[in-house]
Structure 1
Amino acid sequence: MNYTLHQLQVFLKITQTLSITKASEELHLTQPAVSIQLKNFQDQFEIPLTEVIGRKLYVTDFGKEIAIAAENILNEVYAINYKTQSFRGKLSGRLKLSVVSTGKYVMPYYLGDFLKVNPEIELEMDVTNKTKVVKSLKNNEVDFALVSVIPRDLPIESEVLIENKLVLVGNSDVVYESKNDFQHLVSNTPLLYREVGSATRLAMESYILKKKIHSKTTIQLTSNEAVKQSVLAGLGVSIMPIIGLKNELDSGSIKILEVEDLPIITNWRLIWLKGKKLSPVAIAFLNYIRLEKEKIKSTKFSWISNY
């Protein structure tokens, strides 16, 4: 056996993503580079680690066992590195976060100065939809998650960061004169939805159902950015978190349409499993959040109160 730590990292990422393409994206490598590393790693075993059926990649039972061993080896290597830094008086380790997609407009502002002060910390942040965020939290795969809606079926603790405000928006060409005219508007203009599993979609569906609004046409899109660009292009209107619309609202290319019982107000919260034994890095980050969150809110997000 003559495998390298790099090969272990690549193989483990492939088993986690079940995709050469996704693994290459997350590792910031080219697809050919990932494929070569997988081949070189496979050549050291007589038993197949993966197999491709149709166009889908599967991990064999033997491959799953090797993936577990690879993860254990890599964790031990990380532990050695962290202990070395600890003896040098530096805070080090991995901070693992899972963030709902719209949270990408929030979380970086709570990480920037913390990581500058602690450059030895390795950050892993997965940006995805609410369903996957809750799954990673439930499986204890992350230290913290950022959500706007608290999962009901998990015992969690939380720290409120800032307000989350959902508003009805359209582009500058949308004609809308009355806050009671929502039904007329969507009778002629498509409603743009996020994908199933998105917290924004759940909030939007709940509001539409409560108000008994019937849209002639609906369009489903898989990211908040895609919805925003579609609103800008005039494809329809949507209920969206205001957090990702600052530039467009300031320029007037997107406008808020006043509607009865909107905006919907929730909170962006950092959450973690109740009773979880937090690492020194996670504890330091949580303490930093509690100490600095009001300052970050006032310096980075005060603009929200203008809308």
Structure 2
Amino acid sequence: MNYTLHQLQVFLKVTQTKSITKAAEELHLTQPAVSIQLRNFQDQFEIPLTEVLGRKLYVTDFGKEIAIAAENIINEVYAINYKTQAFKGQLYGRLKLSVVSTGKYVMPYYLSKFMMNNDGVELEMDVTNKTKVLKSLKNNEIDFALVSILPNDIQVESLPLLENKLFLVGNRFIDVNSNFDLKKYASIHPLIYREPGSATRLSMENFLDKTGIIPNMKMQLTSNEAVKQSVIAGLGLSIMPLIGLKNELENGDIKIIPIHNLPLVSSWRLIWLKGKKLSPLAKAYLNYINEFNDEIRKNHFNWINNY
């Protein structure tokens, strides 16, 4: 056999995504390039690694075994490269993060300088909802996660980054005053929710339950951006994290509606499994956050204090 590291990487990505199209996207290759590498890799085995039924790709049992071996080989190559760079005093390796969807407004600012200063570091960051973030953490698939609500069923260590505030918001035409009656509004107009599994959804539901508000109509959307655009369009009100509303508040497209017991306040936190043996790269990143957290907050998030 004469397979290459590149073929192993392509095959592993295909098995992970169950799709040549998605594998091509994540590897930044064309679909034909992925197909050719997959075919060349398959030609070295007498037993099928994958099969296509209808339009869906399946990995055979033999293919699953080869995928495990491929991942081990790739990890060993990374380890060799890391040791080489570490011997020269350079950071090297993959930093794996999983971030709740609203955290996309936070995490890049805590990565940019670190990544620029360490050319040998590769970043893998999954932006998804809280349920999937915690699943990745629980399965020890990542180094760190960014959340605004600490999990109850996983023992973690955490580092607070900055304050997270959730406000009731509406569009520019909403009448903003201290006498706004959310209970009356919700009996006539829709409230806009995030999808189940979202930390924002959980916080919003807890607030409404405690205040005895039962919405007559609900809208459910699967991203913070979709909720924001729907609020701007006047489809309804929502309780949203302040962190993603900076431009809209400054432009007047969105208004904060003052209401008793809001904002809801928590903290954006970097978390990792308790007792996890952090790699030298992960330790270096944690040290970076500890050293520059105050500077990052001041330079990029000082505007939060205005609300």
1:179 touches 1:260 (CA, 8 Å); kept in 2?
no
Map of 1:142 onto structure 2: 142
Q: How does 1:47-62 map to 2 (within 5 A)?
A: 47-62=47-62
CA positional deviation for 1:36: 3.4
Q: Could you give the per-residue CA deviations for residues 212-268 of structure 1, whole angstroms, max 9, x where no partner exists? A: 222232111111111111112222211111101100011111111112211111100
CA positional deviation for 1:27: 1.9
Map of 1:93 onto structure 2: 93
Say which is worse superposed, 176-185 or 196-205, in terms of deviation.
Answer: 176-185
Q: Could you give the per-residue CA deviations for residues 103-127 of structure 1, whole angstroms, max 9, x where no partner exists? A: 1111111111111221211111111
Q: How does 1:1-307 map to 2 (within 5 A)?
A: 1-307=1-307
1:186 touches 1:215 (CA, 8 Å); kept in 2?
yes
Separation in structure 2 between the aligned mates of residue 126 and residue 185 of structure 1, nearest angstrom: 37
1:11 touches 1:38 (CA, 8 Å); kept in 2?
yes
Structure 1 residue runs of 5 or longer lacking an equivalent are none
Amino acid corresponding to residue 106 of structure 1 in structure 2: V
- Secondary structure (helix, strand or coil) at the match of 1:188 reads coil
1:176 touches 1:185 (CA, 8 Å); kept in 2?
no
Q: Could you give the per-residue CA deviations for residues 151-197 of structure 1, whole angstroms, max 9, x where no partner exists? A: 11111100000011111111102234344500222233321111111
Structure 2 residue runs of 5 or longer lacking an equivalent are none
Say which is worse superposed, 91-100 or 16-25, in terms of deviation.
Answer: 16-25
- Secondary structure (helix, strand or coil) at the match of 1:40 reads helix
User: Identity across aligned pairs (percent)?
Assistant: 71
Q: Could you give the per-residue CA deviations for residues 129-169 of structure 1, whole angstroms, max 9, x where no partner exists? A: 11111011111111111100111111110000001111111
Q: Could you give the per-residue CA deviations for residues 260-285 of structure 1, whole angstroms, max 9, x where no partner exists? A: 21111110000001111111111111
2:176 touches 2:255 (CA, 8 Å); kept in 1?
no
CA positional deviation for 1:45: 2.2
Separation in structure 2 between the aligned mates of residue 215 and residue 31 of structure 1, nearest angstrom: 47
Q: 1:22 to 1:223 in 2, by over 3 A?
A: farther
2:193 touches 2:219 (CA, 8 Å); kept in 1?
yes
CA positional deviation for 1:35: 3.3
Q: 1:188 to 1:40 in 2, by over 3 A?
A: farther
Amino acid corresponding to residue 163 of structure 1 in structure 2: E
CA positional deviation for 1:41: 2.4
Q: 1:188 to 1:37 in 2, by over 3 A?
A: farther
Q: 1:102 to 1:27 in 2, by over 3 A?
A: same
Separation in structure 2 between the aligned mates of residue 22 and residue 197 of structure 1, nearest angstrom: 24
Separation in structure 2 between the aligned mates of residue 133 and residue 99 of structure 1, nearest angstrom: 6
TM-score (norm 1): 0.94
User: How many residues are paired up?
Assistant: 307
Amino acid corresponding to residue 25 of structure 2 in structure 1: E
CA positional deviation for 1:199: 0.7
